[in-house]
Chain A
Amino acid sequence: MDKFTTLTGIAAPMPLVNIDTDMIIPKQFLKTIQRSGLGKNLFDEMRYTLEGQEIPDFVLNQPAYRQAQIIIAGDNFGCGSSREHAPWALLDFGIRCVVSTSFADIFFNNCFKNGILPIILPQDQVDVLMEDAKKGANARQTVDLEAQTITTSDGQSFGFDVDPFRKHCLLNGLDDIGLTLEKVSAIDSFEMTASAARPWV
C-alpha cells in the first residue's frame, strides 16, 4: 500500500447523496481477478453512454476535473455492497481522498486498506469545500494527514478526526496482515481457550 502523507490536488464536486458502490463501479467490472485497471470504469454508467461515449456533463469528464485526486461528496458516500473494487477503481483513477458528512461502514474500512483517506466533516465545512471544488482546476485543495487538516484553494483550513491506528498505517503504508501476525501467539492462546469453552465451534 502506498503511503499517504500530504496531498495537494484538484477536488471534484459530487454533491449527490447516497452515491452507492454500484454507481462507483458497476457489477460487470467485478469479474476481474486483479486489483488494477478499474479506473477507466470508475462511475461507468454515469460517465459513459450505452455506446461507450463520454457524457460531457459528468464531472470527471470535464476538462477541469479529469486529473482530480480528491472528491467532495454528498452524504453517505459508498453505501451498498462490500466490493473493494470501489476503492480500487477510485485509486486507479487517481483519487486518494474523499470528503463527505458520512460514509458507509464497509466502504470506509476498504479505503484505509488501499491508501485512500476518507474524511468526515460537518455539513457546513463540506459545503465550503464543495463550493471551492466547483471553481475548477485552479482550485487545488491540500490534505495534511499528519496535521489532520484539509485546506481550500484560498487558504481556509479545517481539522478532521482520524483513528490513530489507521493514521499510523496510512502514514507508513503498513500492511495490516503483517502487523496482526506479530500477535500470533495471542491468536494461538485465544484458540486454545475458546475451543475449551465452546468446543462445538
Chain B
Amino acid sequence: MTAAPRTLYDKIWDDHVVHQAEDGTCLLYIDRHLVHEVTSPQAFEGLRMTGRKVRAPEKTIAVPDHNVPTTAGRDKHIDNVESRVQVEALDKNAKDFGIHYYPVTDIRQGVVHIVGPEQGWTLPGMTVVCGDSHTATHGAFGALAHGIGTSEVEHVLATQTLIQKKSKNMKVEITGSLRPGVTAKDITMSVIGLTGTGGGTGYVIEYCGQAIRELSMEGRMTVCNMAIEGGARAGLIAPDEVTYAYCKGRPHAPTGEKWDAALSYWKTLFTDEGAHFDKVVTIKGEDIAPVVTWGTSPEDVVAINGVVPAPSEFSGGKVVAAQRSLDYMGLTAGMKLTDIKIDTVFIGSCTNGRIEDLRAAAAILKGKKVAPGMRAMVVPGSGLVRAQAEQEGLAQIFLDAGFEWRLAGCSMCLAMNPDQLSPGERCAATSNRNFEGRQGRGGRTHLMSPAMAAAAAVAGHLVDVRDVMGVDA
C-alpha cells in the first residue's frame, strides 16, 4: 500500500485521533496541557462542581505568569487583591488536583510558553494546549500547539482530549538567508504584514525554507509564537538537529532507550514530498528588513526605514480602522518611523523573553546609556533565563545602561500586573500585540525585535538597528 503524501500537520494529527465522527469531528488526544492562573480558575471550579478529576495530572503543568508582579517581595505578598486571589487559586488547584507546579518561589517559574520548552515538557510530535493564544510558540518543536478557551481547558482537564475539526494546511516558506540586523521577529511580523491578521484563519501554518532552518530554537519559537497574530490555529516547524540538540538533557526529555526511540520517531516528522498545501506564501529572506508596527493591529507592519502609511492606501473597512489607529497612536501619515519618539521600552514576553533575545539586546546596549527620561525594563522569560543572563554578564549590561532588571513574568506584554503604560505613553515593545489599551489604557505600542527595542532605548526614538550596528540596509 502506498500512503498518500502527508504534511507534518497531517502526521501529528493522525497520530492523535481518538475518535472520528461521520461529519469529520474528531476527538484529539492531548499530550501536554499547560495551565496558568488567569484562564483556569473557572475550569477547576467546573471540575469541583461536577465531581470530576484531572484525567492525566502527570501531563498537566501549571505556572503563574500573567498576574505576578516582577518586583522583589512577590513571593511573600502580592498587593493587588484580585491578582493574589488568582495566584492563590492556582496554588490550591495545583495541590488539590495533583498537577506539576512551578510557584513564584521556584526559580523555574516564568512565562508558561518559556517554561514548557525549557523543562523539556514540549517535545516534537506532541499535541500541546494551554488556555492562552500564544501556545502557538511550542510549534517551533514540530508539536501541534494552540490556545484554547476556559471551557476547553476544563474539557482537557477532565478528558485529556479536545473536540476538533481539522484545519487546512498552509505553507510559509522563507527562502535564502536573512541579512544582518534582521531577526526571527522581523520574519514573523513581515509574514503578518503580508497576509493580515485574518490571513491564517482556518489554517495551520508550516514555516519552512532556508532562513527558518538557520534559526535557533529561540528564533523558531519567536516565529511560531506570532502565528496566532496571523489568525492561524497553530504554527509548525519540522524538527531537525537543532531541535534534538535543544531537547537533549532537558529535565523532562526522555533518556537512554526512550531517547533513541523518540529520536527515530521525530525523524519521521516532516512534510512528505508532494503533500498538498491549501495556501502557500513565499518570501525571500534577503527582502526582509527590520520592521516595526505603526498602528493598533499586528498587521500594521512597516520597514523601519519607511513612513507611516495613509488610510487611503488601504481598502474596505481597513480605511476607517487605519484612521482610528493613527488617531489612537497620535501619528500622522507620511512621517518617518525613525522620527517617532518613545518614552518606554519593554524587553520580554513569550515572544522575545529568551536568553538569545537578551543577548541581542545587550549586544546593542553594551557601554551605552538609555536616553534621558526613558523608562526601560527587561523582564526575563523565566527564572532560569534570568539566572543565565546574570551569569553571562548581561544583567549588568542592562543595569549599567539604565534598564530595570525584573523577575520573570508576562509583565507589560498584557499589563495585568503593575507594569503598565499610562495614557499617551509610547513604548518600544518586544511583545506580540499592539492593540488599543493592550499595555495600559491609552498606551501606544510599537512592536519590534529586541535589538531594535534596545537601539530605540538609547536613541529615544525608533531607529534602524542596522545604523547602530554599522551594517548596510
- Residues in A lying within 8 Å of B, measured CB to CB: 15-18, 20, 22-23, 26-28, 30-35, 45, 50, 74-76, 79-84, 87, 102-106, 109-110, 113-114, 163-165, 176-177, 180-181, 183-184, 186-187, 190-191, 194, 197-201
Closest Cβ neighbor of A164 among chain B residues: B23
CB distance B39 to A82 under 8 Å? yes
A197 to B52, CA, bound (A): 28
CB distance A22 to B161 under 8 Å? no
Contacts of B229-275 to chain A: CB distance below 8 A:
231-233, 253-254, 258-259, 261-262, 265
Seed contacts A33-B86, A82-B131, A110-B152; 15 additional CB < 8 Å A-B pairs = A16-B320, A17-B317, A45-B436, A50-B423, A76-B197, A81-B132, A81-B414, A82-B39, A84-B42, A102-B198, A105-B233, A109-B149, A177-B50, A194-B29, A201-B123
CB distance A33 to B41 under 8 Å? yes
A157 to B433, CA, bound (A): 38
CB distance A16 to B201 under 8 Å? no
Chain A residue numbers with a CB within 8 Å of B18 are: 183, 186-187, 190
A151 to B321, CA, bound (A): 28
Chain B residue numbers with a CB within 8 Å of A199 are: 258, 261
CB distance B161 to A180 under 8 Å? yes
CB distance A84 to B415 under 8 Å? no
Closest Cβ neighbor of A74 among chain B residues: B317
Q: How many A-B residue pairs have CB under 8 A?
A: 191
CB distance A198 to B125 under 8 Å? yes
CB distance A183 to B149 under 8 Å? no
CB distance B123 to A33 under 8 Å? no
Query: How many chain B residues touch A (Cβ–Cβ < 8 Å)?
Result: 82
Closest beta carbon of chain B to A185's beta carbon, Å: 10
Chain B residue numbers with a CB within 8 Å of A84 are: 39, 42, 131, 149-151
CB distance A190 to B29 under 8 Å? yes
**Given the interface contacts A31-B38, A31-B83, A105-B202, does A26 sit within 8 Å of B147 by beta carbon?**
no
Most buried by A among B201, B261, B320: B201
Closest beta carbon of chain A to B243's beta carbon, Å: 14
CB distance B161 to A187 under 8 Å? yes
A87 to B150, CA, bound (A): 11
Query: Which of A16, A81, A83 touches B317 (beta carbons < 8 Å)?
Result: A16
15 contacts between A and B (CB under 8 A): A18-B197, A18-B299, A20-B297, A80-B433, A81-B147, A82-B132, A109-B148, A109-B149, A163-B165, A165-B25, A181-B158, A187-B29, A200-B123, A200-B258, A201-B31
A35 to B149, CA, bound (A): 12
**Given the interface contacts A80-B133, A105-B202, A109-B149, does A180 sit within 8 Å of B437 by beta carbon?**
no
CB distance B437 to A79 under 8 Å? no
A144 to B135, CA, bound (A): 35
